Structure 1
Amino acid sequence: MTTRITTPFNAQSTAAEVLDGIDLTGRRAIVTGGASGIGVETARALAAAGAEVTLAVRDLGAGERTAGDIIATTGNKQILVAPLDLADQASVAAFAAAWDGPLHILVNNAGVMASPEMRTPEGWELQFATNHLGHFALATRLHPALASAGGARVVSVSSSAHLRSPVVFDDIHFKNREYEPWSAYGQSKTANVLFAVEATKRWAGDGITVNSLMPGGIRTNLQRYVSDEDLERMRTQMGATAFTWKTTEQGAATSVLVATSPLLDGIGGRYFEDCEEAELNEPGSRRGVAAYALDPEAAARLWQVTTDTLAA
C-alpha cells in the first residue's frame, strides 16, 4: 500500500509560496502554453527560483511579451521563447530537434477545452491531438534530454473534467459516435493521467518521474469556447459551495509543487489537486481521481495506441 502524499500547502497556496526556499539555479525547464493563464505563473515561479525557462508557445509575440514581463518581475534573464503547436506533429518534432542539452522540468501545461468539433490534417480529434498526442510526442522526443538531466520531472496538467470520460478506445476520435465537446475534453484529460502512470513505469530507471494534476478552477483563455452560461451550469452541478475560482497564482501552485517539491522525490504516476495527492473519486463528487485514470492496463494500452497512431 503506497502512502498518500500530503504537504503543508492547500487550495489557497500560491506558486510562489510552494517554491519558497527552493533553489532551481542551473535547472532548465520548459512550460508549454507558457504565455497565457496558469502557464505564465508557472513559468514566473520557476524563473523566480532561478531556473532557465523556455516558453513553448504558438503565438511568439505573446511569448516575447510574457518573457519580458517575467524578466522584469523576477530579474531572471534566462527566459527563452520557442514556437510550438502541439496539434502539428511537425512543429513538435522541430521543437524537440532544436533542444540541446539536459532538461530537468517539462511542464505539459498547454491545452484546448470543450472546443467545437475540429480535426487535424490526420483526422485526429483536436482536443485529444493537442492535449494528449502532442504532449506525448513532445515528452517522448525529449526523453534523452530528460534522462541526461538526472532526476528529471514531467508535469502532466490534467483536470477534474477527466471524471467525465475514460479513454474510449473503440472510438477515440469520434468517427462513429456523436461529437460532444466535454466528453472529448474529459477523455483527453484522462489520457494525461494515464500518460503519467505509464511514463513513470517506463522511465523510472532513467530517473524520470511523471505526475498529473488538477490545477483547480481558474478563469483563463483556456475557456474561450465555454460560455458564462455553461460555466454557471457547471458550477450549479458541482454545488456552488464546493466551487470557487482560484487566481492564476493559486492555479499554478500544484503544477509547481509537482515540478519541484522535495516531498515528491522519486514519486511518480500519481494525481494531485490542491497541492496534495488526490484521493479516489467518490460517485457524485467532482473531486479526486477516477480509478480508470490510474488503471495500469489502460495506461499501457494508451501508450501502445498512441505510439501506433503517431507512427502511422
Structure 2
Amino acid sequence: MPLITTAFDATSTAADVVAGHDLSGTRAVVTGGGSGIGVETVRALASAGAEVTIAVRDPQQGNAAAQDVVGTTGNTSVRVARLDLLDLDSVAAFVADWDGPLHLLVNNAGVMALPQLTLTDRGWETQFATNHLGHFALTTGLHGALAAAGGARVVSVSSTGHLASPVHFEDIHFARREYDPWQAYGQSKTANVLLAVEATRRWAGDGIVANALMPGGIMTNLQRHVSQDVIDGWERAQREGTVTFKTPEQGAATTLVAAVAPEFATGGHYLEDCNEARTRGADEQSRSGVEPYALDPDNARRLWKVSEEHLAQRPDAD
C-alpha cells in the first residue's frame, strides 16, 4: 500500500492545517494542553470553531492557556478540567464528569527521560504510567463518548524516541534490568503507537479511529528532565545542520493532520512531518520512520491486555 500523503510538510504550522476547516460542533479534549505543542493544538482547534477542553494537572496553567487562546481566537468555548494521568482516581473523575459526545481526543501530555527510576504507588515506572497507562485509562474510559460522536478520532502524540525501545513485556517496570531513561521513554512512546493500532482494530466498527505521530524536535517544557549535556549536544547538532528543531506551531501541525485531515480518516497509522511515515528497515541507522514492532498487531493486542491487567491492580498490589 502506498503511504498516505497530504499537502503539508515539516514546515507547515497547525494554522496551515486547519485553514478552511469548520469545526463548529466538534468537541475536543487535549491532554497537556496548557503549554508547548499542546496549547498550539488547542489554539488551532479553537480557531476553527471547535469546543476544546484543556485537560491538565495544573488548572492554573490551564486557565492561563485558555485565556490566551480565547484572546487570540475569539472562541470562548475553551474550558479547563483537571487531569492527573498518574492518578487513576483523577482520570476516573474526568471521565465521569464528561457529558455528551466526544469527537476528538488528543493524548498529548507526557514526561521525558526521568533521570532516575521512579515508581508510582502501584509500582509502575513513571514514564510508562504517565505516557501510556494514564492515557489508556482515559481513552478506554471515554469510549462511550467517542462512539456517540459518530466518526471520532483519537490522536496519540508519540515520538522518534520510540526507536529506542520496544515494549519489554517481560519487565516493563525495570524490576530486573538496569533503568535507562531513554529506554523507559522509548517503550512508553512505542506504547502510544500500539494503542492507536489496537484501538482502531477494536473500535473502527464504532466509528472510532486512532493514529499516532511524531511531532518533530521541539524545545518545550517536556525536556525539563533532560541533562544539560544532552541539550547542549542537540543545540550543537542544530548549529551544524544535522538536526532541525521546529517551532511549537510547526510541531502541532502533524497532530492537526491526524486530527482533521480527510486523508487520515482511517486509523492505525504513524505520521511524521504531516504525512504517513515509512516503516524502517532492519538495522537502519537514520532517525526517521517507524519501527515494525510499533505497528505489530500482536504487540498491540498484547499491550491492550497487559494494560487492562495493570488498571485492575490495587494500589498496594505487588
Instruction: State the TM-score, normalizing by the size of structure 1.
Output: 0.97
From the superposition, tell whether residues 129 and 13 of structure 1 become closer, same or farther in structure 2 (CA, over 3 Å). same
- Check if 1:298 corresponds to 2:299: yes
Stretches of structure 2 lacking an aligned partner (at least 5 in a row): 314-318
- Tell me the secondary structure at the aligned position of residue 252 of structure 1: helix
Q: Who is 1:223 aligned against?
A: 223
- Tell me the secondary structure at the aligned position of residue 122 of structure 2: coil
1:228, distance to aligned residue in structure 2 (A)? 3.3
- Taking the TM superposition and a 5 Å limit, the aligned residue runs for 1:21-40 are 21-40=20-39
Give the partner amino acid of 1:166: P
Question: Do 1:127 and 1:185's aligned partners in 2 also have CA atoms closer than 8 Å?
Answer: yes
- Taking the TM superposition and a 5 Å limit, the aligned residue runs for 1:82-121 are 82-116=81-115, 117-121=117-121
1:232, distance to aligned residue in structure 2 (A)? 3.8
Structure 2: distance between partners of 1:240 and 1:198: 40
Q: Who is 2:182 aligned against?
A: 182
Q: Who is 2:74 aligned against?
A: 75
- Check if 1:18 corresponds to 2:17: yes
1:281, distance to aligned residue in structure 2 (A)? 2.1
- Tell me the secondary structure at the aligned position of residue 155 of structure 2: strand
Q: Who is 1:123 aligned against?
A: 123
Question: Do 1:238 and 1:285's aligned partners in 2 also have CA atoms closer than 8 Å?
Answer: no
Structure 1: distance between partners of 2:232 and 2:2: 36
Question: Do 1:12 and 1:250's aligned partners in 2 also have CA atoms closer than 8 Å?
Answer: yes
From the superposition, tell whether residues 239 and 164 of structure 1 become closer, same or farther in structure 2 (CA, over 3 Å). farther
From the superposition, tell whether residues 292 and 37 of structure 1 become closer, same or farther in structure 2 (CA, over 3 Å). same
1:238, distance to aligned residue in structure 2 (A)? 10
1:119, distance to aligned residue in structure 2 (A)? 1.2
Instruction: State the TM-score, normalizing by the size of structure 2.
Output: 0.95
Structure 1: distance between partners of 2:20 and 2:2: 25
Runs of 4+, deviation exceeding 2 Å: 231-242
From the superposition, tell whether residues 280 and 51 of structure 1 become closer, same or farther in structure 2 (CA, over 3 Å). same
1:237, distance to aligned residue in structure 2 (A)? 8.2
- What do the CA deviations read for 1:15-47 (whole angstroms, capped 9, x no partner)? 000111011000000000000110000000000
Question: Do 1:9 and 1:276's aligned partners in 2 also have CA atoms closer than 8 Å?
Answer: yes
1:233, distance to aligned residue in structure 2 (A)? 3.4
- What do the CA deviations read for 1:118-141 (whole angstroms, capped 9, x no partner)? 111101000000000000000000
Stretches of structure 1 lacking an aligned partner (at least 5 in a row): none
Q: Who is 1:8 aligned against?
A: 7
Structure 2: distance between partners of 1:128 and 1:220: 20
Aligned pairs, number: 310
Q: Who is 1:193 aligned against?
A: 193
1:220, distance to aligned residue in structure 2 (A)? 0.2
1:240, distance to aligned residue in structure 2 (A)? 4.9
